[in-house]
């Protein structure tokens, strides 16, 4: 590169190509990591809802709703299982544990 003329066309194309390669590989990885973190956060919230349900069961309540991060986790006790229902990406899910 000659300092008086600035960047050449080849250098510009090379720089843009490198940027596309870097961002083209990082963007899908960050998208996948974001989805995995959302799923892990959801599993944590289900566990919190089950913990709060267990506490409520000791007080005699057999169903209820726990609201975490603007998502309702409704739970119900049906001997011998505790089930938590919730909506994740527009789909209804249920997580049940037998005790």
Domain hosting residue 36, numbered range: 9-98
Distance CA 17, CA 23 (A): 10
The count of domains in the chain is 1
Domain-located, residue 3: no
pLDDT in the model for residue 77:
95
The answer to whether the beta carbons of residues 75 and 49 sit under 8 Å apart is: yes
Domain-located, residue 38: yes
Domain-located, residue 20: yes
Distance CA 84, CA 52 (A): 11
Domain-located, residue 53: yes
Domain-located, residue 66: yes
pLDDT tens profile 26-66 = 888 999 999 999 999 999 999 999 999 999 999 999 999 99
Domain-located, residue 4: no
Question: Tokens 């190509």 belong to which residue?
Answer: 17
pLDDT band at 2 (very low <50, low <70, confident <90, very high): low
Distance CA 15, CA 1 (A): 14
Domain-located, residue 1: no
pLDDT tens profile 54-98 = 999 999 999 999 999 989 999 999 989 999 999 988 999 999 999
SS3 label, residue 31: helix
Domain-located, residue 2: no
Measured CA to CA in angstroms, residue 20 lies from 13, 25, 29, 34, 43 at distances of 11, 8, 14, 21, 35
């Amino acid at each position: 590169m000659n300092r008086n003329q600035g960047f050449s066309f080849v250098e510009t194309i090379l720089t843009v190509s490198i940027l596309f390669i870097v961002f083209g590989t990082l963007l899908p990885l960050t998208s996948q990591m974001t989805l995995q973190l959302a799923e892990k956060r959801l599993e944590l919230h289900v566990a919190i809802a089950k913990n709060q349900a267990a506490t409520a069961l000791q007080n005699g309540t057999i169903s209820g709703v726990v609201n975490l991060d603007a998502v309702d986790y409704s739970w119900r006790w049906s001997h011998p299982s505790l089930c938590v229902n919730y909506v994740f990406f527009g789909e209804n899910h249920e997580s049940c544990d037998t005790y």
